[in-house]
């Protein structure tokens, strides 16, 4: 059994972000770190997107950045700007490569596929492993996206379509999300906010084909990449212990109303790095309580009134785009919070509170 100063369980987004943050700030020069990750090889498996409201270490892994976005419901479209907080998409393949190349150069960092050979008792553990599949009653954001290429130019690559609700709702919340990487290349994703206990929304391929061919009226295209996933819109029950901090999804870094997690993971990594010499006294890092409270109400509204959600999301964007972006990225002040709350249909939300 080998002893280490630090152990990171799970070398995914949170585990690798933390290891990288510690490495570039020279916190691993005299300390040993074991990263436990079962996957055999790293390949592109996700696209992490967000409004860049805080700096992060991965600007060189950004696939594309946009300053405009749109949202639409049947017969209505809003075009909005995000000059102050560009919307960025990170290619997970580039992210894994950049971090692993850096970490492999440090001889104090060890890589394992499981925990059999390492001593978990004496180290400080950062855990990103969680078992969520058992919770079928919680709400999930589940989705499938394909990257397509067209022969001729088809997309306006200056603007993303954040939410297109002009599609079949099936008594749930459903929208399409389009990220145009170039005039002939885009990621098109079908996204649902619903429980996972039935499979009636899982005909993703059919939904995407219909959307591309009927809604977008695009016939000639090739699918070059596909990603599928589910983000829990509830917090997993991972206990923190005296020598263990949960990070990533396990550490409740997901904003429950949106699924955005990537930038929260980066802020958590910075916080841990700043306090690493003092971690027994480290205060728990969490998404501010006001957002947890408001998101819980919002999720109840989603659950009870899915048919109202396209209008509710659309109305939210009646506030200035900076205000909405800051609110959805946990960076808003109290006036901005009120500006959003006042745009919401009062009665539905009051019922959800009680
Ligand atoms: C397809 C997809 C797209 C997403 N897109 C966005 C987005 O656009 N924007 C955004 O902000 N968020 C997004 N998210 C949410 C969130 O950012 C990601 O889920 C992110 O990867 C969470 O990081 P994590 O480290 O908690 O989990 P993961 O990245 O999943 O890492 C967990 C790691 O643990 C490993 N592991 C599993 N079992 C064990 C074990 N027993 N022992 C050791 N290791 C183990 C896994 O192999 C994995 O590498 C997306 C999620 C998914 C699934």
Pairing of strands 124-127, 76-81: unpaired
| Residue with tokens 């696209």, as numbered in its chain | 47
Q: Yes or no: say if 84 and 53 are a contact pair by the CB < 8 Å rule.
A: no
Nearest-CA neighbor of 18 among 297, 344, 232, 251? Answer: 251
What φ, ψ does residue 219 adopt, rounded to 5°? -110, -35
Q: Cα(300)–Cα(116) distance, rounded to whole angstroms?
A: 42
Q: How far does the centroid of ligand 1 lie from the alpha carbon of residue 46, in Å?
A: 9
Q: What is the pTM of this model?
A: 0.96
Nearest atom in ligand 1 to 49's CA: 8
User: Residue 133 has what pLDDT?
Assistant: 63
Q: Compute the distance between CA of residue 241 and CA of residue 235 in angstroms, rounded to an integer.
A: 17
Q: Which whole-number Å values give the CA distances from 247 to 3, 195, 242, 297, 317, in the listed order? A: 21, 24, 14, 25, 31
Using most ligand atoms within 8 A of CB, pick from 10, 100, 115 the residue to mutate for ligand 1: 10
Mutate to test the pocket of ligand 1, among 48, 100, 233, 329 (most ligand atoms within 8 A of CB): 48
Q: Whose CA is nearest to atom 6 of ligand 1?
A: 48
Radius of gyration of the chain (CA): 21
Q: Is 202 exposed, middle or buried (0-12, 13-18, 19+ CB in 10 A)?
A: middle
* Cα 12 to averaged position of ligand 1 atoms, centre (Å): 6
Q: How far is the CA of 249 from the centre of ligand 1 (A)?
A: 7
Question: Which amino acids bring their CB within 6 angstroms of ligand 1?
Answer: 9-15, 36-39, 46-50, 128-129, 227, 229, 231, 248-250, 259-262
Contacts of residue 73, Cβ cutoff 8 Å, sequence gap at least 6: 165, 166, 310, 311, 314
In the block, tokens 């995914």 appear at 12
Ligand 1 centroid distance, CA of 263 (Å)? 13
99 neighbors 16 (Cβ within 8 angstroms): yes
What is the position in ligand 1's atom list of the atom closest to the CA of 253?
26
Cα torsion 83, 89, 90, 93: sign: negative
Ligand 1, atom 5: nearest CA belongs to which residue?
48
Q: Tell me, in angstroms, the distance from the centre of ligand 1 to residue 13's CA.
A: 6
Please, what are the averages of pLDDT over each run of 10 residues along the chain (354 residues)? 94 98 97 97 95 97 98 96 97 98 97 93 93 75 96 96 94 95 98 83 94 95 95 83 90 95 98 90 91 93 92 93 96 94 85 78
Beta strands in the chain (DSSP E): 6-9, 33-36, 47-51, 62-66, 68-73, 76-81, 87-91, 109-112, 124-127, 139-150, 159-164, 173-182, 185-195, 221-232, 244-246
Ligand 1, atom 52: closest residue by C-alpha: 229
pLDDT at position 345: 86
């Amino acid at each position: 059994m080998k002893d280490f100063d630090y152990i990171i369980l799970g070398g995914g987004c949170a585990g690798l972000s933390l290891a990288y943050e510690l490495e570039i700030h020279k916190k691993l020069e005299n300390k040993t770190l074991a990263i436990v990750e079962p996957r055999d090889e790293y390949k592109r498996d996700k696209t992490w997107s967000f409004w860049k409201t805080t700096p992060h270490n991965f600007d060189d892994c950004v696939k594309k950045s946009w300053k405009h976005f749109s949202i639409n419901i049947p017969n209505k479209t809003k075009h909005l700007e995000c000059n102050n907080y560009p919307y960025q998409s990170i290619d997970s393949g580039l992210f894994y490569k950049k971090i692993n190349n850096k970490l492999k150069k440090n001889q104090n960092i060890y890589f394992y596929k499981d925990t059999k050979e390492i001593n978990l008792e004496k180290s400080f553990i950062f855990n990103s492993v969680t078992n969520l599949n058992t919770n079928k009653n919680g709400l999930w954001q589940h989705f499938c996206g394909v990257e397509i290429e067209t022969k001729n130019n088809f997309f306006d690559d200056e603007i993303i379509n954040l939410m297109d609700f002009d599609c079949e709702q099936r008594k749930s919340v459903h929208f399409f999300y389009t990220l145009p990487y170039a005039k002939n290349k885009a990621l098109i994703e079908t996204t649902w906010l619903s429980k996972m206990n039935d499979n009636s929304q899982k005909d993703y391929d059919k939904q995407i084909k219909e959307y591309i061919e009927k809604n977008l009226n695009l016939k000639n295209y090739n699918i070059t990449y596909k990603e599928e996933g589910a983000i829990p819109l509830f917090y997993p029950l991972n206990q923190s212990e005296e020598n263990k901090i949960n990070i990533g999804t396990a550490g409740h870094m997901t904003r429950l109303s949106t699924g955005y997690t990537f930038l929260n993971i980066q802020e958590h990594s910075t916080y841990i790095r700043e306090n690493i010499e003092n971690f027994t006294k480290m205060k728990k890092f969490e998404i501010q309580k006001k957002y947890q409270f408001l998101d819980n109400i919002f999720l109840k509204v989603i659950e009870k009134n899915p048919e109202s959600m396209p209008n509710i999301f659309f109305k939210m964007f009646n506030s200035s785009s900076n205000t909405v972006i800051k609110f959805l990225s946990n960076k808003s002040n109290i006036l901005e919070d009120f500006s959003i709350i006042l745009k919401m249909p009062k009665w539905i939300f009051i019922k959800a509170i009680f």
